[in-house]
Each structure stands twice: as C-alpha cells, then as structure tokens.
Amino acid sequence: MTKSLSCRDVERLMLEGEDRTFSAGEGRLVEEHLRGCARCRGFAADRALVRGGLADIRWPAPPEELVSRTRRMLRADPTAAPAALPPWILVALAAITVVTALWLAVSLADITPGMTLADLPVAGLAAIFIIVQNALMLFCAPVLLRTYRARRGDFEGAR
C-alpha cells in the first residue's frame, strides 16, 4: 500500500472515477495502491459485481391498470383543493368549543390544590374526567384504529 492514500481515499476515488476521468497523477496513485492492496481490489471487484447485477435486471413495465388509473386521477382536476366545510359547521364547532371551555373553567375554578378526590365537587370531577378521556382518545384512537385494520389485513389503512 502507498503511504499517501488510505483505502477509504482510494474507494472514494474509484467511485468518483465512475463520473469523470482521472488525472494522470490520480490514476497512477490508484493503480499503485491497488497493486498492493487486496482489500481495495476486492472493493473494485464488488463494485463490478453490483453494477453487473443491476445492469442485468430487466425492469417490469408499469401495470396498465396503474397507468390508466393515474391518468384518470391527473385529468380529474388534480389542482382542486379538498372541499371546504360549510361555514355553519365551523360556527357550530367554534360555539361548542367556547361553551365547553367556559364550562371547564367554571367547574375547575372550585378545585383547590389541597383537595382530595372525595372533596371534589361533581362538576369538577366531571371536568377532570372529560379532560383525561379526551387526552386518552387523542393518543389511543390512531393506535386502536390501525391495529384493528392490521388484524383485518387491511393494508391500505395500515401502510
């Protein structure tokens, strides 16, 4: 092996050499290194093996069904944005959110840090229950839904 080039340098040079022509100096350095280094000769041989293997692959044509399905999809106004929700639904959702937030604020206002569960008023307990339940649902719903689909073998949903 030469002192000037490490195996890593030579490997990288060989990869670069696939893209461009070596200068005379580079070519000589690589050749000298390869003469004395079985590991780098192995790298070159493996590189040829990989490239040969890849060149040997006969790639399948895209399935006709996929091609025509995609073409239909592209023709069906692909730039259209998803349908927006009607304004009254947004207003209703906002109203429900505000009412719920107000109710939670009022219910939780009666709770003080020193209280035990037994001391909590019914409204406070209900508020805590609703918060915990919503948090759990937000976290667990995707897991439960996808696990259910996976059990059914529904890969469209699982992938």
Partner 1 sequence: MTGFDEFYAMYHPHVYRFTLALAGDARDAEDLFQETWLRAVRAYSPVREEESDAKAWLFAIAANAHKDSLRKKRVRRLFLLERTRSMAARSVDADPGWDAPGRAPEDGEKRSDIRACLRRAISRLPGRERRVFVLKDIEGFKHGEISRMLGIPEVTVRTLLHRAVRKLRKDLVEFRPAAEGNPVYEEGRP
Least distance between partner 1 and beta carbon 14 (Å): 9
Interacting residues with partner 1 between 11 and 40 (CB under 8 A):
11-12, 15-16, 18-19, 38-39
Secondary structure string (H, E, C) spanning 85-122: CCHHHHHHHHHHHHHHHHHHHHHHHCCCCCCCHHHCCH
d(CA 158, CA 148): 9
Query: Could you give phi then psi for residue 98, rounded to 5 degrees?
Result: -65, -45
Least distance between partner 1 and beta carbon 145 (Å): 10
**Which residue's CB is nearer to partner 1, number 67 or number 95?**
67
**Which residue's CB is nearer to partner 1, number 58 or number 116?**
58
Q: Residue 78 gets which letter from DSSP?
A: T
Question: Nearest 5°: CA angle at 63, between 57 and 65?
Answer: 175
Q: Residue 20 gets which letter from DSSP?
A: S
Interacting residues with partner 1 between 51 and 70 (CB under 8 A):
51-54, 56-63, 66-67, 69-70
**Which residues of this chain interact with partner 1, rule CB under 8 A?**
1, 6-8, 11-12, 15-16, 18-19, 38-39, 41-43, 45-47, 49-54, 56-63, 66-67, 69-71, 73-75, 78-79, 142-143, 146-147, 149-151, 153, 155, 158-159
